[in-house]
């Protein structure tokens, strides 16, 4: 019986024969990511359960569905991420005055910037 055709790695697109979807060089990376996902727990365990979903809906309505960072730049872009202005890791709360609606791009940029700050301060 002939061998199965090799499939492309999910990361680099090189051909591989692993059942998990990654080439040998990306296998460990994938294992680490899956382990991290299991350890961090569900969204409800991290504080994003039913109460958060209700609050999120309030913020989306309050901000008229618009990214607040784009709005400050004079653009009108819909938002999909409710963001903590002061991150919870830095003492921020889930109070509405500490929440804003952001588009994907602004949320990624802000999260990356916060991550750099955490690494500089030795938290990451």
Give residue 75's pLDDT: 95
Give residue 80's pLDDT: 96
* Cα 92 to Cα 80: distance, rounded to the nearest angstrom: 20
Cβ contact 60:82 at 8 Å: yes
Please state the domain extents for the chain. Answer: 7-40, 50-120
Token pair recorded at residue 20? 């998990």
Give residue 22's pLDDT: 79
- 16: β partners: 7
Give residue 24's pLDDT: 79
Distance linking the first and last C-alpha atoms of the chain: 50
Give residue 120's pLDDT: 58
Give residue 124's pLDDT: 52
Give residue 27's pLDDT: 81
Q: What is the 3-state secondary structure (H, E, C) of 8-56?
A: ECCCCCCEECCCCCCCHHHHHHHHHHHHHHHHHCCCCCCCCCHHHHHHH
Residues of the chain with pLDDT under 70: 1, 16-19, 117-124
Tens of pLDDT, residue by residue over 56-82, are 999 999 999 999 999 999 999 999 999
pTM of the model: 0.66
Give residue 122's pLDDT: 58
Token pair recorded at residue 102? 């952001």
Give residue 116's pLDDT: 79
């Amino acid at each position: 019986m002939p061998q199965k055709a090799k499939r492309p790695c999910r990361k680099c697109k090189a051909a591989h024969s692993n059942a998990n979807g990654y080439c040998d060089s990306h296998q460990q990376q994938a294992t680490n990511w899956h382990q991290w996902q299991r350890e961090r727990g569900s969204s409800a365990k991290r504080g994003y359960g039913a109460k958060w979903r209700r609050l999120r809906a309030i913020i989306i309505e309050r901000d008229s569905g618009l990214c607040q960072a784009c709005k400050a730049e004079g653009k009108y872009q819909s938002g999909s991420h409710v963001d903590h202005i002061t991150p919870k890791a830095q003492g921020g709360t889930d109070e509405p005055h500490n929440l804003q609606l952001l588009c994907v791009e602004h949320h990624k940029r802000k999260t990356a910037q916060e991550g750099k700050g955490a690494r500089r301060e030795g938290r990451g």
